[in-house]
Copies of this chain bind each other. A is one copy, B any other.
């Protein structure tokens, strides 16, 4: 019972930290806010995360990015083609941007820009997430008949264009840049042979 409560506190701290990181980034997210919003006792933080803020945030980031990895994996595996999968992924982000009033785009990007140059654990968590997402896209392109080398190149381009569109959407408070990139990606993919 006591162990179960402890496990739940840890999970709640991670979930709260991930949500705050996603909305407001690393520097704005204070440990007091995480503890308050998770309704967790102060002592629980250093008990579960002796490395303090950096450890909590890197772990929260790994959790959040694993959630998106799963969603990408499922979508890319089950859609009838890479085009359809990317359409569904664009729709997912569109919904998230709208529901969060443009507070939530990519769960990793803000923290990557704030911290990857200075924090090794954050750099590792961000880099791993992007590497996985790119590999998932490339894998689906190969399954659709792309040559491996071109699939790898184009997957990086696709990931970059979606990540950039998510910045533009948040900056403009509009989903138009993402929908436009979605349209261009459709063109790119339907012209596989020319690529």
Q: Which residues of A contact B (CB under 8 A)?
A: 23-28, 100-103, 105, 108-110, 112-114, 116-118, 123, 126-127, 129-131, 153-154, 156-157, 159-168, 170-173, 177, 180-181, 183-184, 187, 191, 194-195
B191 pairs with A116, CB closer than 8 A: no
Given contacts A27-B25, A114-B110, A123-B173, contact A168 B156 (CB under 8 A): yes
A171 pairs with B126, CB closer than 8 A: yes
Partner of A130, one of B113, B160, B171, B183: B171
CB distance from A74 to the nearest CB of B (A): 22
> For chain A, what secondary structure do more than half of its interface residues adopt (helix, strand, loop), or is it mixed?
helix
Residues of B contacting A156 in the complex (Cβ-Cβ under 8 angstroms): 165, 168, 177, 180-181, 184
Cα of A143 to Cα of B83 in the assembled complex, Å: 31
B157 pairs with A163, CB closer than 8 A: no
B27 pairs with A171, CB closer than 8 A: no
Q: Most chain-B CB neighbours within 10 Å: which of A103, A160, A162?
A: A160
Partner of A108, one of B101, B171, B173: B171
